[in-house]
Amino acid sequence: MLYNPNIPQAASKRVISQAQIRANFTEIFNSFAKNHSPLGNNDLQGAHNILILRPQTLDPATTATQTAIYNKLVLTVPNLFFRPNNSQTPIQMTYPSIKVGLQSTNPDVYFPDQYSFVAGPFVFYAGVILNPTNGQVVNLSPVTTLRYVGVCVKDFVGTLVSSVAATNIAGSSFTINFQAQVGSTRDVYYIAIGN
């Protein structure tokens, strides 16, 4: 039996409504137990063991003594948000994807272009560009607005006239600039933050 909010009726006799009320309490107990420690567990009764948040389209309003954690769709992907008190600007706590780790093993070969997520919403990129050319444009994915790009040279062979730099930072791309003698090779490592 499903929970029935219309039990008992004012005119119901206890003989009739007692079984209905008992069935309602059983349904409440069973529903509650799906995402909580069971009632009767003295130490943890009622504690959540799973929290499922349905997506919503609007940020909830909060008062001076409230904060909110909620699920909201970002381009059809559910993400977790935190809203500070007094309906301050919401902070995105999750991101729809990350790319980290190994692309193959034996020996371990890491993805040359990796990114993760920092709440804010910021996306943290890190990677290596093997032997780039001067003026090479690097386009990062997923697309964000870059706030910081740092580059450094590793495995340099030859004569470097000046250091490497990230220039023309716009959208989710930047340009690698350096001066080196012909025949020089290098790998450029980058760290970037976008939102």
11 band by pLDDT with thresholds 50, 70 and 90: confident
More confident of the two residues 152 and 120: 152
ω before 38 within 30° of 0 (cis)?
A: no
| Residues whose CB falls within 8 Å of the CB of residue 81, separated by 6 or more in sequence, listed in order | 59, 68, 69, 70, 71, 72, 90, 91, 92, 93
- Chain centre to alpha carbon of residue 119: 7
31 phi and psi angles, rounded to 5 deg: -65, -45
Which amino acid is located at 127 in the chain? G
Average pLDDT over residues 59-68: 95
Average pLDDT over residues 177-181: 77
Q: Is the pLDDT of residue 174 over 60?
A: yes
Low-confidence winner among 41-50, 88-97, 161-170 (lowest mean pLDDT): 41-50
Low-confidence winner among 28-37, 40-49, 130-139 (lowest mean pLDDT): 40-49
Average pLDDT over residues 65-93: 91
Can you give the pLDDT at residue 3? 76
- Highest mean pLDDT pick, 3-7, 15-19, 128-132, 143-147: 143-147
Q: Is the pTM of this model over 0.85?
A: no
Can you give the pLDDT at residue 60? 94
CATH classification of 102-194 is 2.60.40, yes or no?
Answer: yes
Structure tokens at 183: 């025949």
Pairing label, strands 146-157, 185-194: antiparallel
85 band by pLDDT with thresholds 50, 70 and 90: very high
Domain residue ranges in the chain: 1-52, 53-94, 102-194
**Which of these, 190, 25, 15, 193, lies nearest to 113 by C-alpha position?**
190
157 band by pLDDT with thresholds 50, 70 and 90: low
